[in-house]
């Protein structure tokens, strides 16, 4: 049945679309996701072997946050169709009809340019180039290219989320050494178990949206085995800075204990055969712990640097 809207309804829609509220523009930046980006970038900045003036350090973190917000806005601009299908994302400003796509695009592109220029002016152009690359990688390589075409989408796309500590480090030192590369690798190998644990119990939503997430394409058992495999690599990567003598005992002990728990929870997911999302306790526990794991590991790195320095 076709419904014909009244002029009043049209007016309301125009009124909503004509001027998106500040709250909706803020929501477009995915503030909850941004907290993890800000935290890891800050840890990269604080773990660097040199110091930075607080004003410039603050500006660097601000620029990284704005860059992350710009990436999120561009992601939502492109994915408004699939966001409208999934229950978790249905109420975002674009699928809910509170903003038009053009506004989101302009906001995302404008914020991208501003964040990169701000970073370059305040710190150095290497960190600005890394920030520009991460925005491009997330918006174009992950969102536009990989997400709808391969079940390896979040593995490769995870690189964008892994760059913030490298940018934070480069903002202070002006270079990229082995330590920030290891920090990048930690987040890179953390991403698949983190997202696939979530995808296992929200599988139906991704299927409905036609996103080829690993559980949809390869099946739950294969995904569970891969989660365990990535967790082993993650543990080795997380312990590497201590094993190579780049950090002290605070980080070393934390990395060993946290990675041990992570592997244990991943093993329980690996052995699970549950098909019913409501009974996936092991997957939900791993997803919850994975967030704590990253915060605790990077927190321990900063504590190690600050206390032992």
Among 29, 40, 59, 112, binds another protein (CB under 8 A): 59
Among 1, 2, 4, 7, binds another protein (CB under 8 A): 7
Q: Do the beta carbons of residue 202 and residue 277 sit within 8 Å?
A: yes
How far CA 306 is from CA of 36, 46, 268, 302, in Å, comes to: 20, 8, 35, 6
Nearer to another protein, 20 or 45 (CB): 20
Give the residue from 265, 271, 235 showing the smallest Cα distance to 252.
235
Stretch that binds another protein, among 4-12, 141-149, 174-182, 288-296 (CB under 8 A): 4-12
CB of 110 to another protein, least distance (A): 12
CB of 55 to another protein, least distance (A): 5
Q: Residues 198 to 257: which contact another protein by CB under 8 A?
A: none
Among 33, 36, 56, 156, binds another protein (CB under 8 A): 56
Give the residue from 146, 177, 138 showing the smallest Cα distance to 29.
138
Among 51, 90, 117, 121, binds another protein (CB under 8 A): 121
Q: Residues 122 to 141: which contact another protein by CB under 8 A?
A: 122
Stretch that binds another protein, among 50-58, 66-74, 208-216, 233-241 (CB under 8 A): 50-58
CB of 98 to another protein, least distance (A): 10
Distance CA 143, CA 205 (A): 17
Stretch that binds another protein, among 40-48, 51-59, 74-82, 276-284 (CB under 8 A): 51-59
Nearer to another protein, 105 or 144 (CB): 105
Nearer to another protein, 35 or 51 (CB): 51
Among 4, 50, 55, 307, binds another protein (CB under 8 A): 55
Q: Residues 10 to 39: which contact another protein by CB under 8 A?
A: 10-12, 14-15, 18-22
CB of 93 to another protein, least distance (A): 13
- # residues near another protein by CB under 8 A: 19
- Own/partner pairs, 277-281, CB within 8 angstroms, 24+ separation: 277/200, 277/201, 277/202, 277/203, 277/204, 280/200, 280/201
How far CA 47 is from CA of 81, 92, 307, in Å, comes to: 40, 35, 11
Distance CA 229, CA 224 (A): 9
Q: Does 97 bind another protein (CB under 8 A)?
A: no
Stretch that binds another protein, among 3-11, 70-78, 142-150, 158-166 (CB under 8 A): 3-11
Binding site for another protein (CB under 8 A): 7-8, 10-12, 14-15, 18-22, 53, 55-56, 59, 62, 121-122
């Amino acid at each position: 049945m076709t419904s014909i809207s009244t002029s009043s309804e049209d007016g309301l829609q125009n009124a909503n679309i004509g001027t998106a509220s500040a709250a909706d523009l803020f929501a477009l930046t995915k503030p909850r996701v941004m907290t993890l980006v800000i935290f890891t970038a800050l840890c990269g900045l604080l773990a660097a072997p040199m110091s930075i003036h607080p004003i410039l350090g603050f500006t660097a973190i601000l620029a990284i946050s704005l860059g992350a917000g710009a990436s999120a806005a561009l992601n939502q601009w492109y994915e408004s169709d699939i966001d409208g299908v999934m229950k978790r994302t249905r109420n975002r400003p674009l699928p809910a009809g509170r903003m038009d796509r053009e506004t989101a695009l302009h906001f995302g592109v404008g914020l991208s340019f501003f964040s990169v220029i701000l970073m370059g002016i305040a710190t150095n152009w290497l960190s600005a180039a890394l920030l520009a690359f991460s925005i491009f990688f997330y918006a174009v390589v992950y969102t536009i290219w990989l997400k709808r075409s391969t079940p390896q989408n979040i593995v490769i796309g995870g690189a964008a989320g892994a760059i913030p500590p490298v940018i934070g480090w480069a903002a202070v030192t002006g270079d990229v050494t082995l330590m920030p590369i290891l920090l990048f690798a930690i987040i890179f190998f953390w991403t698949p178990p983190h997202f696939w644990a979530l995808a296992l119990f929200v599988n139906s939503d991704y299927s409905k949206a036609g996103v080829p997430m690993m559980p949809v394409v390869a099946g739950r058992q294969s995904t569970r085995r891969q989660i365990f495999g990535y967790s082993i690599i993650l543990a080795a990567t997380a312990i590497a800075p201590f094993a190579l003598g780049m950090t002290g005992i605070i980080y070393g002990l934390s990395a060993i204990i946290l990675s041990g728990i992570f592997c244990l929870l991943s093993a329980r997911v690996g052995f699970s055969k549950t098909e019913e999302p409501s009974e996936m306790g092991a997957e939900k526990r791993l997803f919850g712990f994975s967030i704590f794991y990253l915060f605790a590991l990077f927190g321990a790195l900063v504590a190690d640097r600050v206390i032992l320095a």
